[in-house]
Amino acid sequence: MRVFLLFAILFLSFIGQSQNKLRAYIDHKQFYAPGVGNYIEFQLQFVGHTVKYSGVEGGLMGELAVYLDVLEKDSTILSEAYRLQTPLMKDSIVEDFFDIIRFKIDPGNYSFKVELKDLNADKPALKAKQSFSVNDLNTTISFSDIIIAEMASKGDGTSPFYKSGYDIIPRFSNFYPEQLTVIPLYFEVYNTKLLGDSLFGVQEQLIDAETGEEVIGFKSFTRYKVGEAVPVFRKINLESVPTGKYLVRYTLINKGLIELATREYEFERTNNITSDLTVENIVLDPAFQKSISADSVGFYIESLIPICGPAEVKNIINIAKRKEEESARKYIQQFWTTTAQNGPYEEWIKYKQQVQLVERLYSNNFQEGFETDRGRVYLQYGSPTNIVRRDLSSSEYPYEIWQYNKIGVFSNKRFVFYNPDLVNNTYQLLHSDMIGELKNPNWPRELVKRNSTNGNIDDPNSGVIDHWGGNSDDLFRQY
């Protein structure tokens, strides 16, 4: 029986599509171990909230059955079967968890079958089958497959995820939103002693997958000592990488600058960074012009701020200060032409309707709806899946908890808004677990500040006392 480590993780696609079924992902990577030979590594991720749990001492625990067979033609040549206990879940918020299975295997063409069964649920098992190939890395100068790390740290060899000095928890998604600014990755280079030199080089390039052109400013070259298996751990900085599809390409180069092997990883990136939009030569579309009345041009150009990056916000503020109606109209048109090329007018009208909605719901005596925290979050992330409202409490300020099932690739994200002024509908963001948003560990104390003593640095919520209606923390954690 195996017990698995617990990690928070993003997920991309799944084997089973019913919400009532267990969900999991599987990937495979090839490596070579000197003295052992070629081996294949099957990486498994289990979606924690799709597992059925039973109560045990200290929390909740699930149990699964895992079957994995490797086939050559129609014959099973390698097999693994075991029962798995999930990590101990100590509250209602459960996280994804991982396992890894390795097989020594000769070069050739194969397929694998995987079957996963939740032993606590009366549901059919998940089943999947896929073909794969194993190359001979034993005698050639070559690269292993690339592992993208969700988490990576120095290891001591005790973790099942240990590899050449690192504990590497794999990442299954190749999509990187603007909140993720680094790609940590790991690969190995084999048999470089055959070069007959003491050093070799690895060149790193970023390639635009649509055009095939190299992205300027990302090329680098690193020297390594030769060896049978040389580990390489790299971090790619994505902060200045704009939206698009890319390849990160690694090339092994010898002393004579001859390219001997390559390996690539493809990913998608979204990023709000943009260059300044030039509006002087834009011809106004009559549809765009008609959709904005003369007395609301300033309102609607500023309403773009919640979905804009820093460079665009600067442009909007400059145009708004100058009160140039034609420039503002052109900017709105160019913004949507750039960000929604397949239907800019239609996307603008959808957004305009959302702006009008948050104006009705969240505006107050001194803020437009899009200027408020709730309005900004609504426009930036969309409509929340669930909203808990508590307008009256004997000890808590009025508050709302917004929960999103999905924000891009992120799952189960929450926002807490409260109204410490008790007037004017001026709800402020108090806390969120979304990347890039305000995080306030002592938000429960702030919410009941009228009725609580101060906490301390070790436990900032120590002053929060139990009181009638004081269940905001439970409501926050229930999703």
- Per-10-residue mean pLDDT of the chain, 479 residues long, equals 38 38 90 93 90 89 95 95 90 80 95 94 90 92 94 86 87 86 94 93 92 88 94 91 90 92 92 59 81 92 88 83 87 85 87 95 92 95 91 84 86 91 87 87 82 48 46 51
- CATH code, 175-271: 2.60.40.2550
* 37 membership: H or E segment, kind and range: strand 37-46
User: Which overall architecture, per CATH, does domain 1-138 show?
Assistant: Sandwich (2.60)
pLDDT value of position 239: 85
pLDDT value of position 93: 65
Delimit the domains of the chain by residue range: 1-138, 175-271, 286-365, 384-477
Domains 1-138 and 175-271 share a fold: yes
pLDDT value of position 92: 61
Structure tokens at 248: 């990160």
What's the 3-state SS for 143-200? Answer: ECCCEEEEEEEECCCCCCCEECCEEEEECCCCEECCCCCEEEEEEEEECHHHHCCCEE
Long-range CB contacts (< 8 A, 24+ apart) of 297-305?
297/325, 297/328, 297/329, 298/323, 298/328, 299/368, 300/328, 300/332, 300/352, 300/355, 301/328, 301/331, 301/332, 302/368, 302/370, 302/371, 303/355, 303/368, 303/370, 303/379, 304/332, 304/335, 305/370
